[in-house]
Amino acid sequence: MKQLLILSGKGGTGKTTVASAFIKLAKAKAYADCDVDAPNLHLVTEWNQKPVRRDYYGLPVAELTAELCTSCDLCRQHCRFAAVSAGDPYLVDPYACEGCGVCAYVCPTGAIEMVPAVAGDLKLYRDEEKVFSTAQLKMGSGTSGLLVTEVKNEMKTFACDASLAVIDGSPGIGCPVIASLSGVDMVLIVAEPSISGISDMERIIRTAEGFDTKIAVCTNKHNMNPTISEKIEQYCEGEGLPFMGRIPFDPAAVKAVNDAQTIVDIDCPSGVAVTEIFENTMALLFNRVSSIADG
């Protein structure tokens, strides 16, 4: 199974719009939403049945039993996350706690125990043909990278004979993005033609280059700023990164999303453009590179 990950660095450039179109065009049998902070792919994919849900346990959280606490202050002194506050009784802030277990280790009276904590919700949609894995991180939780890996594992477990998996990624370059990059065959970066967009694209490319994966770029809303759009293509050429195509700004795309549709469900310019990008991407992913027209 070839895994294609859609990333962008900057948020809101159109990852989910592109991913949902690809899923439709490929009739993908396996796909996942790794943007566990703000998952949206389920809003534009058609599933009649409800998903199978299960709790995701992140790192354990310190729990302090007030009756055993002697206020020796050792836990507070050793906590690097400022999660323990002195007082009567001592308190652990579960949101600040990163689950290291140092407080429980140093506590002389055994007043602190590390207990498992639900940090999110895994959801698996599945029928005879296809599987869709998604999740929602609990607010303020810090282990999004772990949850991303769980999401991908769930998808892989049930994607028996799928030749392609489409994975919608999250913005940024940090822990969830790094977790989503692990093991994928190709990354398609959706860039937006703005000064911010170029800066963010360069940072996500540098991050992805740390992994053994193909990297390609496409632009969305390219006509919003043709000058910068051109710069993005020049940058790709300079870096030797394959450029997959341009999607124009298209009011119909907003309408499609608000009707819970993908841009290839309706007849619109962005749908035509994304179809071409899809074909170029598949050619590169499955090593049929010769079929891509140069430039």
Partner 1 sequence: MKVAVLSGKGGTGKTLISVNLAAVAGLSTYIDCDVEEPNGHLFFKPDIVREELITVKIPQVDNERCAGCRTCVQFCNYNALAYVNNKLIIFDDVCHSCGGCVLVCPESALSEMDKVIGKIEIGVSGDVSVYTGILNTGEATGIPIINRLLEEGSLDENKSILIDCPPGSACIVMESIKDADYCVLVAEPTLFGAHNLNMVYELVKLFEKPFGVVLNKDLNEENPVDQFCADKGIEILGRIPFDHTLASLNSNAEIVVYKKEEYREKFVSLFETIMEKMQGETPSDEPNIVSLMAKRQCCEGAVNKQRDVQRCPEEARRSPVPSESGNDTASGQERMCVDALRDEQSDVSPGEERGAS
Among 69, 91, 266, 283, binds partner 1 (CB under 8 A): 91
Candidates 24-32, 34-42, 125-133, 239-247 — which segment interacts with partner 1 by CB under 8 A?
34-42
Query: In a 10 Å sphere around its CB, with 0-12 CB exposed, 13-18 middle and 19+ buried, how is residue 148 labelled?
Result: buried
The terminus-to-terminus CA distance of the chain in angstroms comes to: 28
257 interacts with partner 1 by CB under 8 A? yes
268 interacts with partner 1 by CB under 8 A? no
Among 4, 25, 124, 137, binds partner 1 (CB under 8 A): 137
Neighbours of 31 (CB within 10 A): 27
> Distance between CA atoms of 236 and 215, rounded to whole angstroms?
10
Binding string, residues 235-254; x marks residues near partner 1 by CB under 8 A:
-------------------x
76 interacts with partner 1 by CB under 8 A? no
> Distance between CA atoms of 140 and 123, rounded to whole angstroms?
19
Residue 127 or 212 with smaller CB distance to partner 1: 212
Three-class DSSP category at 219: strand
Among 13, 133, 134, 262, binds partner 1 (CB under 8 A): 13
Q: List the structure tokens of 176.
A: 């969830």
210 interacts with partner 1 by CB under 8 A? yes
112 interacts with partner 1 by CB under 8 A? no
Q: How big is the site for partner 1, counted in residues (CB under 8 A)? A: 84
Candidates 158-166, 186-194, 271-279, 286-294 — which segment interacts with partner 1 by CB under 8 A?
186-194
> Distance between CA atoms of 142 and 179, rounded to whole angstroms?
13
Which residue carries 């298209």 as its tokens? Answer: 250
